[in-house]
Amino acid sequence: MIRPNRSLDAIPTSEPFIGPERLMRERGLGALLRLGANESAFGPSPLAVAAMAGELPHQSWYGDPDSFELREALAKRWSCTREELLVTSGIDDLLGLVVRCYLEPGESAVASAGTYPTFAYHAIGHGGRIVGVPYREDGRPDLSQLVRAAHSSRATLCYLANPDNPSGSFFDGDTIARLRSELPQATLLLLDEAYGEFVDSADALDERVVPGVVRARTFSKVYGLAGARIGYAVAPAELLAPLLKVRLQYGVNRNAQIGGLAALHDASFVREVVAQNSAGLAQYVALGRELGVPTLPSRTNFLCFDFATAERAAAVLDALLARGVWTRRPGVAPLDRYVRVTVGDAAARATFAAELRAVSAGALA
Amino acid sequence: MIRPNRSLDAIPTSEPFIGPERLMRERGLGALLRLGANESAFGPSPLAVAAMAGELPHQSWYGDPDSFELREALAKRWSCTREELLVTSGIDDLLGLVVRCYLEPGESAVASAGTYPTFAYHAIGHGGRIVGVPYREDGRPDLSQLVRAAHSSRATLCYLANPDNPSGSFFDGDTIARLRSELPQATLLLLDEAYGEFVDSADALDERVVPGVVRARTFSKVYGLAGARIGYAVAPAELLAPLLKVRLQYGVNRNAQIGGLAALHDASFVREVVAQNSAGLAQYVALGRELGVPTLPSRTNFLCFDFATAERAAAVLDALLARGVWTRRPGVAPLDRYVRVTVGDAAARATFAAELRAVSAGALA
């Protein structure tokens, strides 16, 4: 009989995320306020929409497998060569490629326990071992423990989201440089900077190629193109070379390439999104203060409300969902006492505030 | 130092295809008539374009990871369950998933030597062994030798494109059913039906789930959505289950899901494309007859011109390219004496005919 590879037997059928569409179907909800996946409330740049619309009649053509024009534009922005850039079908695709190329079955990868789950999904899917390092009580990744775990487990990969998802916390460029220097030289640092554009460049790691680091960037967040599935790696060319042996050559869709290129050139739109997002974060902080619910500092387009216990956080999440507001609760302690809420536009924030007040009166009483 | 997995050492850096954009850059060509990748000359359905355009402002939302609505629609068409359908980021993505799940490193996969190369790319990339069965002299896959090779190599996978790419040939449903019955029971038959919609349903394998077979379908060809990257598998649920453990959950882009669904419902557009394509094929056959160049029967949106020797075919391909007409020549004998030409629209066919006449006067003299 036909039998799948034995290595798959040990891999559970799991899903990093349940999509909101399934939640709606299963709960019989007609509409859902999407504040659970950190999708941009401010949409794609109008320039990107116009560029994509103009190209739709040419969807019968494949995209350029080299993503040449986009890499040219990115190379200018990052002051690097095209060979130091790889365009992928979103960061998820890139995480899978890095794991496939740098994590042999049985080898260890280090990550914060409860961080963005798709990295662990790939690591387990490729037969690797995930060494999960607990978050600190204040919700921040524990860098010194990540370093220690990388040494003790002889990890070939260390994954860090910075700014972090789901906590929203951020380490500045100097701290990340120190992390790299303290990790074993043989450990690749996979730095997921999906929310990097929300951080002032003065605080962040310079926009450049860093030895021993694969930096993952995306058009899904500040650029508002999550549905288009496009992201990229910035890394030394020799770290990217193995990925070119196995990547899906025609994996990036044409519309995403065109939209991404247009979005990249719309700097004023990005500034406007960042400004509106900051205003939204401030409103969430004020809402938390009003309700007596502490919030975590965030350098992203989402914010965690701290409901003190996992039980209370779960009750709030469920109550919000029943009222048509989709948020998310991290699954692992100590983060499981948070409810993570995406910054909505003004109308969505008003709805969320009203619903959280109503829920609080009940669940938090 | 950071070192990629040792298993990658044996894998060459290769590309199944060079994209036309790179050809243009390297040859300094300002424009290229795209007749080399079997992209539909008739574009996407206007209904699909309208649906995709309407959704562009929502590209900030991820697509439904379950592709629920599209699978619902496909389940009706195929009289099967949603669990017997998996939507992927084009057939290339699906081929990679099937290889990853059913071909252990060192195991053998059987395919015609010179068929659609992305299957072999994935098989080699996953450490498998490709057993290539030569095409017959008439350009058709050699089914009895494929069966023999599958038995002798204990192949876990047998790949067949039907209709075939690059030859354009086709085996009817009864022949495919016989192939399945003659293959080892432990061999999964991966049937790439990218061009299946160009074949009269009376001749083809029934539109149903076939035990022991993963059927690959795409929106890239007759539906004109190659750039959108969307395809699907039709197979027994137990054959698809392992793929769900490792697939990129959010890999299919939102616009592709929306465009694919709209395209599926535009049956009259598909009929029109098939009719125009048939007219185009007939013109190519007449052109070959006029120039004394035999053509192969084709049940696809492309056709092979037989230039008798690999040298002549290469000369014709190069001469056409120098004149701005991009076609393709299969790389492996006995197919390497063909030039494969996509059916263009009426204007493109007229240009191609004029250029081939001009080239023939030279290269074929």
pLDDT per residue as tens digits for the range A214-247: 999 999 999 999 999 999 999 999 999 999 999 9
Helices (H), chain A: 20-27, 46-55, 68-78, 90-102, 118-125, 143-152, 173-182, 237-246, 254-264, 267-291, 310-322, 346-363
Contacts of A78 (CB under 8 A, 6+ apart): A84, A85, A207, A208, A209, A234
Instruction: Supply the CATH number for residue A320's domain.
Output: 3.90.1150.10
B80, part of any domain: yes
**pLDDT at position B345:** 98
Name the residue facing B246 among A125, A226, A242 (closest C-beta): A125
- What residue numbers bound the domain in which B15 lies? 10-43+268-363
Co-location of B252 and B230 in the same domain? yes
Co-location of B176 and B97 in the same domain? yes
**pLDDT at position B361:** 83
The structure tokens listed for B347 are 């204007």
Name the residue facing B89 among A185, A246, A251 (closest C-beta): A251
Co-location of B28 and B99 in the same domain? no
**pLDDT at position A207:** 82
Buried b (16+ CB within 10 A) or exposed e, A138-152: ebbbbbeebbebbee
What letter would DSSP give residue A340?
Answer: E
Coil, helix or strand at residue B298: coil
pLDDT in tens, B209-245: 999 999 999 999 999 999 999 999 999 999 999 999 9
Co-location of A32 and A106 in the same domain? no
Q: With a cut of 0.90, is the ipTM above it? A: yes
Co-location of B279 and B313 in the same domain? yes
What φ, ψ does residue B353 adopt, rounded to 5°? -60, -45
**pLDDT at position A14:** 87
B1, part of any domain: no
How far is residue B270's CA from residue B260's CA, in Å, rounded to a whole number? Answer: 13
Taking residues A51-75, what's their average pLDDT? Answer: 97
Co-location of A238 and A346 in the same domain? no
Residues of chain A with Cβ-Cβ distance to B42 below 8 Å are: 60
Residue A21's pLDDT band, with cuts at 50, 70 and 90, is: very high
A80, part of any domain: yes
Coil, helix or strand at residue A283: helix
A94, part of any domain: yes
Residues of chain B with Cβ-Cβ distance to A62 below 8 Å are: 19, 37, 39, 220, 226-227
B185, part of any domain: yes
**Of A216, A231, A266, the domain-final residue:** A266
Residues of chain A with Cβ-Cβ distance to B121 below 8 Å are: 249
pLDDT in tens, A315-329: 999 999 999 999 999
Co-location of A359 and A251 in the same domain? no
Give CA separation, B183 vs A59, B106, B140, B176, in Å: 38, 20, 18, 11
Taking residues A106-112, what's their average pLDDT? Answer: 98
The structure tokens listed for A36 are 């659970």
Residues of chain A with Cβ-Cβ distance to B96 below 8 Å are: 248
| Shortest distance, CA B57 to any CA of chain A (angstroms) | 6
A1, part of any domain: no
State the sign of the Cα–Cα–Cα–Cα dihedral B58, B60, B64, B67: positive
Co-location of A170 and A291 in the same domain? no
Residue A364 has pLDDT above 80, yes or no: no
Residue A363 has pLDDT above 60, yes or no: no
Name the residue facing A61 among B12, B62, B226 (closest C-beta): B226
**pLDDT at position B332:** 95
How far is residue B214's CA from residue B210's CA, in Å, rounded to a whole number? Answer: 8
A19·B58 Cβ contact <8 A: no
Give CA separation, A272 vs A112, A196, A198, A275, A301, in Å: 32, 16, 11, 5, 13
Q: How many domains does chain A have?
A: 2
Residue to test with chain A: of B253, B277, B326, B342, most A Cβ within 10 A = B253
A250·B229 Cβ contact <8 A: yes
B4, part of any domain: no
Distance spanning both ends of chain B, measured CA to CA: 59
Co-location of B184 and B324 in the same domain? no
The structure tokens listed for A38 are 């950190």
**Of B265, B295, B319, the domain-final residue:** B265
Co-location of B231 and B332 in the same domain? no
pLDDT in tens, A30-61: 889 999 999 999 999 999 999 999 999 999 99
What φ, ψ does residue A177 adopt, rounded to 5°? -60, -40
Determine the residue of chain A that is closest to B157 in CA distance.
Answer: A2
Q: Which of B131, B141, B136 is nearest to B110 (CA)?
A: B131
Buried b (16+ CB within 10 A) or exposed e, B199-215: beeeebbeeebbebbbb
Q: Which residues in chain B show pLDDT less than 70?
A: 363-365
- β-sheet bridge partners, residue A233: A86, A216
- Mean pLDDT, all residues of chain A: 96
How far is residue B223's CA from residue A135's CA, in Å, rounded to a whole number? Answer: 49
**pLDDT at position B179:** 98
Percent of chain A exceeding pLDDT 70 equals 99
pLDDT in tens, A160-218: 999 999 999 999 999 999 999 999 999 999 999 999 999 988 888 888 999 999 999 99
pLDDT in tens, A121-162: 999 999 999 999 999 999 999 999 999 999 999 999 999 999
A147, part of any domain: yes
**Of B265, B295, B321, the domain-final residue:** B265
Instruction: Supply the CATH number for residue A250's domain.
Output: 3.40.640.10
Q: Which of B344, B306, B292, B345 is nearest to B167 (CA)?
A: B306
Co-location of A136 and A240 in the same domain? yes
Taking residues A298-312, what's their average pLDDT? Answer: 97
Co-location of A221 and A338 in the same domain? no
A229·B250 Cβ contact <8 A: yes
How far is residue A46's CA from residue A349's CA, in Å, rounded to a whole number? Answer: 22
pTM for this prediction: 0.97
